[in-house]
Amino acid sequence: MEKKPLIVVENVNKSFKKSDRQDHLVLNELNLSLYSGEIVALLGKSGSGKSTLLRIIGGLVKPTSGRVLHHDQELIGPAPGLAMVFQSFALMPWITVLQNVELGLEAQGVPKQERRNRALKAIDIVGLDGFESAYPKELSGGMRQRVGLARALVVDPEILLMDEPFSALDVLTADNLRGDLIDLWQSENTNIKNIVIVTHNIEEAVLLADRIIVFGESPKNIRAELKVDVAHPRNEDDAKFRKLVDHIYTLMTMPDSETIDFGYKIIDIGYRLPDVQASEITGFMDMMTEYKGAKVDLPELADEFTMGVDDLFPIIEALQILRFVHVSHGDIQLSQAGKLFADADILKRKKVFASHLIKHVPLARHIRRVLDERHGQRASEERFLRELEDYLSEDAAERVLETVIDWGRYAEVFAYDYNNGQLSLENPD
């Protein structure tokens, strides 16, 4: 069956200015079509460009090149028929729930009485009856997101764009809202033909979507595309469900082919180290000891340690960089060095960590070398920050330096004085 797509994303590139000289390519030659009758999940790590793509579809961000077709017409700005729900809810705190919901109708010039009636109906649909005259400040997170949803529904959209709509909510509330979203989708109450939902939660994607697009950083943004042929309501303990989740874990932890070396990650000096503290690494390794070097299924591990993908993946990436673990096919396993580290006492651990840090993290190696060569064996953090800014944005450079300093202090590879921002080889105390 050849259906006509509602939205076609055609050869879209998007880059942001990083510095005067450099551009940061976020989306690279991206192609994607959205069809009637499907929920599409954009699933990927944070910073991979999912929100950017969603905003390009919504007409909020212009692509650097390429175009988006909406019913065969090129999209130039926000179009009628598209509505968006935001992670931060994005409600105006100074007006009531009712007025927030009415906003889209005001823009269309709907007369006051009709505006009110339609808004009240939308509020009713999302189950916020009786809260019309409340201010957003008075509502809980879940209720606020319901307002966000009502505001989208009231303009009777054809396509609903959702940017991590449930990730600012607690687990139970999020579950609740997901259920209600599916009910809404299956009911005849709306004219919504397509929902695009951005998420970094694998279970959420499998729970909601008919099609999952696994997203990664450019140059290859669309890593994989999967169909989910499971009827709603879906059961998380279902075998088919689990298998899909497993499969996606595998896809998402697969290192990029260029940086792969026997299952490890090779990085350069400007690599964006994950935001992970040494204490988190040691804590994680402590927990890993109970598996005694056996292969462990990642989803199972996440469950066992009650960690979300957002917490888990950065730590795993750090461990891969330090070569303490192997990751393949959605399984994780301690390496030789990893086992050594896990079983060692504190002093020994620091030694192992130090040697791996110097060997496998070029930035740490570089800092150490500079300090060794320096006369007073000290240097200011500013100096390294400037160097890093050749590769990274100011923000990212600061974070990466902070991370490497934390690791270096833990391993006693170098010392850092908070008061004057100096790195040195002195023994810290």
- Binding footprint of ligand ADP, residue count (CB under 6 A): 10
Q: Looking at residues 393 to 422 of the shown chain, list those that interact with Mg ion (rule: CB under 5 A).
A: none
d(CA 415, CA 426): 6
Distances, alpha carbon 120 to alpha carbons 127, 347, 391, 427, in Å: 11, 65, 52, 67
CA 227 to chain centre: 21
Site for Mg ion in 37-66 (CB under 5 A): 51
Subset of 370-409 contacting another protein (CB under 8 A):
398
The reply on whether position 50 binds ligand ADP by CB under 6 A is yes
Position 201 contacts Mg ion (CB under 5 A)? no
Written as one letter, the residue type at 18 is K
Distance CA 43, CA 216 (A): 9
Out of 40, 41, 51, 337, name the contact with ligand ADP by CB under 6 A.
Answer: 51
Six-digit token pair at 207? 């729970």
Q: What are phi and psi of 176, to 5 degrees?
A: -55, -50
**Element spanning 70, H or E:** strand 65-70
104 binds another protein (CB under 8 A): yes
Collapsing DSSP to helix, strand or coil, 56 comes out as helix
Residue count of the chain, please give it.
Answer: 429
Using the rule CB under 8 A, is 113 a contact of another protein? no
For 2, the token pair is 């050849």
Tell me how far, at minimum, the Cβ of 369 lies from another protein, in Å: 25
Residue 49 binding target from another protein, Mg ion, ligand ADP, none, CB below 5 to 8 Å by type: ligand ADP
**Partner whose binding site includes residue 58, from another protein, Mg ion, ligand ADP, none (CB under 5 to 8 Å by kind):** another protein
The footprint of ligand ADP on residues 7-26 (CB under 6 A) is 16, 26
233 lies in the site for ligand ADP, by CB under 6 A: no
Whether 222 and 213 have beta carbons less than 8 Å apart is answered as yes
Contact segment (CB under 8 A) with another protein among 87-95, 123-131, 189-197, 329-337 equals: 87-95
Q: How far is CA 411 from CA 69, 226, 422, in A?
A: 54, 42, 17
DSSP 136: G
Peptide bond into 219 cis (omega under 30): yes
- Residue range at the interface with ligand ADP (CB under 6 A); choices 41-49, 102-110, 188-196, 315-323: 41-49
Return the number of the residue (257 or 419) whose C-beta is nearest another protein: 419
- The only residue of 21, 113, 418, 427 in contact with another protein, by rule CB under 8 A: 418
Query: What is residue 259's DSSP assignment?
Result: G
Cα–Cα distance, 358 to 411 (Å, whole number): 10
- Which one of ligand ADP, Mg ion, another protein, none is in contact with 16 (Cβ closer than 5 to 8 A by kind)? ligand ADP
The CA R_g of the chain, rounded to the nearest whole Å, is 25
Q: Which amino acid is at 310?
A: D
Of 65 and 279, nearer to ligand ADP (C-beta) is: 65
- Which member of 48, 49, 50, 55 binds another protein (CB under 8 A)? 55
Q: Is 84 in the site for another protein (CB under 8 A)?
A: yes
Minimum CB separation of residue 121 from Mg ion in Å reads: 31
Burial of 229 (0-12, 13-18, 19+ CB in 10 A): exposed
Question: Is residue 79 at the binding interface for another protein, with CB under 8 A as the rule?
Answer: yes
Q: Which chain residues interact with ligand ADP by CB under 6 A?
A: 16, 26, 44, 46-52
Binding site for another protein (CB under 8 A): 55, 58-60, 70, 73-80, 82-84, 86, 88, 90, 92-96, 98, 103-104, 106-109, 112, 132-133, 135, 137, 151, 155, 398, 418-420
